[in-house]
Amino acid sequence: MIDCGEGSQIQMARFHVGYRHLDSIFISHMHGDHVLGLPGLMSTFCLLGRTADLNIIGPEGLGDFVDFINKTFCKEKTYKVNFFPVLDDCVSKPVFEDKTTEVYAIPLRHRIQCYGYLFREKANKPHIIREMTDFYGIPYYAYNSIKDGKPWTTEDGEIVPAERLTRPAEPPRAYAYISDTAPSHVVAENVVNVDLLYHEATFGKDNIKRAEETYHTTAAQAAEIATSCHVHRLIIGHFSSRYKDETPLLEEAQAIFPNTVLAEEGKTYTI
């Protein structure tokens, strides 16, 4: 989960998103609309008797908040919270990783300390070609070493290179989430070629002055970043409540970067 505004657990129920796979929560910054769903979620996890660890990643101030919630609302602890503060070297070194993914934090330009997150899938291992392994009578236990590139030696002493037994994996995917921020070259340098970029577009270019004052981005600026960084697809979101209809923002972005879509509540975007 990336950011957790008030009512997140209510929205999850509404859209039938289960808690089972929610292992890690990334927080961009300590403004209420990005973090105030955390106490409710953490206290619900206690009530449900969650046992799996929960990883929380975010700016250093978040640690105090998490401690306070834990102390105040999760008195009967059933699970462990691991807090990972974002540090200064966050662009070059993953702030968090698991078996499949590395996550980097990108310092943004907002009124308070704020980070975007870049999710990079680790290189996938190649796929075994079952017809070939069956042909050579290769046992299952050898699959992992073949995937790692080791050749197979048959009983007759024939050496079969791994490339003949496997087909290449899909290229690893990358997703970047960038909110809240004024347009930033640090973002641009770090989201080059990502498959999917979520970038805030709080205002349209008609409100560029207000965007500058409040450290936000316009739809046109978000689209320019997407273009210059050669991202595959752009989602814009975090719209100011002054826009009752976001179509003009979408059109403004699409005029510069056609493959733009609006962030819509409850919608799933596949990478």
Q: CB under 8 Å to 192, separation ≥6 — which residues?
A: 229, 230, 231
- Residue 33 known to be catalytic: yes
- Give the nearest distance from C-beta 16 to its own copies in angstroms: 16
Q: CB under 8 Å to 168, separation ≥6 — which residues?
A: 126, 127
In this chain, which of 23, 64, 148, 163 binds its own copies, going by CB under 8 A? 64
CB atoms inside a 10 Å sphere around CB 259: 13
Spatial separation of the C-alpha atoms in residues 188 and 184, rounded to whole Å: 7
**Residue 39 within binding range of its own copies, rule CB under 8 A:** yes
* Site residue total, its own copies (CB under 8 A): 21
Selecting among 33, 64, 98, 206, the annotated active-site residue is 33
**Window contacting its own copies (CB under 8 A); options: 3-11, 98-106, 204-212, 259-267:** 3-11
- Give the nearest distance from C-beta 90 to its own copies in angstroms: 22
What x/- string results for residues 97 through 136 when contact with its own copies is judged by CB under 8 A?
Answer: ---------------x------------------------
Please return the burial class of 153, using the count of CB atoms within 10 Å of its CB with bins 0-12, 13-18 and 19+: exposed
Distance separating the N- and C-terminal Cα atoms of the chain: 16
**Residue 6 within binding range of its own copies, rule CB under 8 A:** yes
**Window contacting its own copies (CB under 8 A); options: 16-24, 29-37, 133-141, 183-191:** 29-37
**Residue 30 within binding range of its own copies, rule CB under 8 A:** yes
**Residue 31 within binding range of its own copies, rule CB under 8 A:** yes
Supply 213's token pair.
């004052």
Nearer to its own copies, 61 or 151 (CB): 61
Residue type, 49: G
* Secondary structure letter of residue 98 according to DSSP: -
Supply 58's token pair.
């975010």
Instruction: Spell 46-72 as b/e; 16+ CB within 10 A means b.
Output: beeebeeebbbbbbeebeebbeebbee
Nearer to its own copies, 27 or 103 (CB): 27
- Give the nearest distance from C-beta 73 to its own copies in angstroms: 5
- Which residue is listed with tokens 């087909």? 167
- Give the nearest distance from C-beta 64 to its own copies in angstroms: 8
Binding site residues, its own copies, CB under 8 A: 6-7, 9-10, 30-32, 36-37, 39-40, 43-44, 61, 64-65, 68, 72-73, 75, 112
Residues recognised as catalytic: 33
